Amino acid sequence: MNILEDLLLQVAFVVTLIFAYQLFYSIGFGRLQYFRLTQALLFGVALVLCMTFPVHVTEQLTIDIRIVPLLLGTFYGGFETTLFLSLLILLYRAYLGMDGGFYGTTLAVFMCIPIFMYFQSRFLRADKNRRLLTAIGLTVSYCVCSFVSMALFIDMSDTFWSAILLYTAVMAAVVLIFVAMNETIRETLARNQQRLEEAKDAEIAFLRSQIQPHFLYNALNSIAALCMINPRQAEQLTLDLSRYLRSGLNFKQMDTFTTLENELELTKAYLNIEKVRFGDRLTIEYDIHADPERRIPPLILQPLVENAIKHGLMSRVKGGTVRISIQETEDRLRFAVEDNGCGMSEEKRHGVLRLDPERRGIGLRNIARRIKLIYDAGLQIESEVGVGTKVRFEIPCSLDKRRVG
């Protein structure tokens, strides 16, 4: 029973460090630059602890569960981690003494590591059940190779042969438990990540569906107001609206992006409507220096322009000017919509992006939420009462994984 108790003590060492690894992985460190180095170091610490507190079978023979961090490091860390752990085993065993155990360990490592690396790619491509079978098979293979190599350099007693079965059974069970636990955690994290992505796409689609009726309502009201006064202008505005419907509502997929050119075309169609409606009260200035083929989320510019006109300029009798600026730097697109309208107080500026289901008018809050979801960025609002408002944001030049509508 002493052998079993000592082996379970080593299992406790490994459990602690493997759970630390899973913690790093689960909270998102798996995407960080030095995660694989941290992973290798944790497995290395577990391996050294196992070798530092071995189970003494005879005066000459000691055993430990170094196979657990070595095998897990091979499966989930790749070639570099395997090489690091293998060298660590040899160096630490040499530090403990250049005896028969060292030579047996060296032979076992050189026998098993090529086999481990051969099955590593197959392990990653396999389903969960095949991964478990592969892990058990390689564990038994390592145990056999270890004891065969030890038998060549160390005199074995009856205790040795009885320890073989106990050691192999414990190792197979421990590796099976760790691999099963690791696969279960990874499956859970993958499902959660998929649900988060689906929720994010669903929210983006919902926000987009909110903003389209918002524009259509105002556009149709503008056209209706001109039907009796100036039918020809109303006809032209109807054509502008059809341009919007063609470019602005053609989003068959939730993850579809548009081009900057299409977004500007949509915005100009809206402005043509508003320009006829408000006449000389509305002036538009453009400052566009960007590739028209750059991909952007649809409807992130027009609502800002609409907001500037509706809430910034048209609340004043004399109207004003809206300036639209899009500048491209090396890897960013910088948008700015500025008006010289009534402006807003500091309190209102802080509250304008607050999500309040009781409030009507969703333009700024909608854009802010979508940019946050897609780019983890935000709107910046500068405003002064009686002077005007400037809304700006910046995004990466493109998202290669998205399609253009």
Nearest to 302 by CA among 258, 239, 237: 258
Domain architecture of the chain: domains with CATH: 2-194 (1.10.1760), 281-404 (3.30.565.10)
Q: Kindly list the distances between the CA atom of residue 372 and the CA atoms of 110, 198, 264, 343, 394, in Å, as whole numbers in the listed order.
A: 52, 16, 22, 24, 11
Whose tokens are 């028969």? That residue is 100
What's the pLDDT at 362? 54
**Any residues with CB less than 8 A from the CB of 267 and at least 6 apart, and which?**
301, 302, 305, 324
> pLDDT tens digit string along 286-305?
999 999 999 998 888 988 99
What's the pLDDT at 244? 67
d(CA 17, CA 21): 6
Query: Could you give the strand order of the β-sheet that contains 256-259, starting from the edge strand earlier in sequence?
Result: 295-296, 256-259, 403-404
**Any residues with CB less than 8 A from the CB of 350 and at least 6 apart, and which?**
none
What's the pLDDT at 206? 60
Whose tokens are 């860390």? That residue is 77
**Any residues with CB less than 8 A from the CB of 200 and at least 6 apart, and which?**
373
What's the pLDDT at 203? 64
Residue 371 contacts residue 208 (beta carbons within 8 Å): no
| This prediction's pTM | 0.54
Nearest to 84 by CA among 24, 129, 38: 38
Half-sphere exposure of 15 (CA within 13 A, CB side): 8
Provide the 8-state DSSP code for 318: T
R_g over Cα of the chain: 33
Residue 47 contacts residue 76 (beta carbons within 8 Å): no
Pairing of strands 62-63, 55-56: antiparallel
Region of 25 on the Ramachandran plot (φ > 0 left; ψ -120 to 50 alpha; else beta): alpha
Nearest to 405 by CA among 243, 249, 251: 251
Residue ranges of the chain with per-residue pLDDT less than 70: 1-35, 55-62, 154-163, 199-200, 202-215, 218, 244, 246-255, 353-363, 398-405
Nearest to 44 by CA among 85, 97, 72: 85
d(CA 15, CA 69): 10
> pLDDT tens digit string along 185-210?
778 777 877 777 776 676 666 656 65
What's the pLDDT at 253? 43
Residue 378 contacts residue 372 (beta carbons within 8 Å): yes
Nearest to 27 by CA among 229, 192, 210: 192
What's the pLDDT at 258? 83
The count of other CB atoms within 10 Å of the CB of residue 266 is 24
DSSP string of 246-282, one letter each residue: HHHS---STTEEEEHHHHHHHHHHHHHHHHHHHGGGE
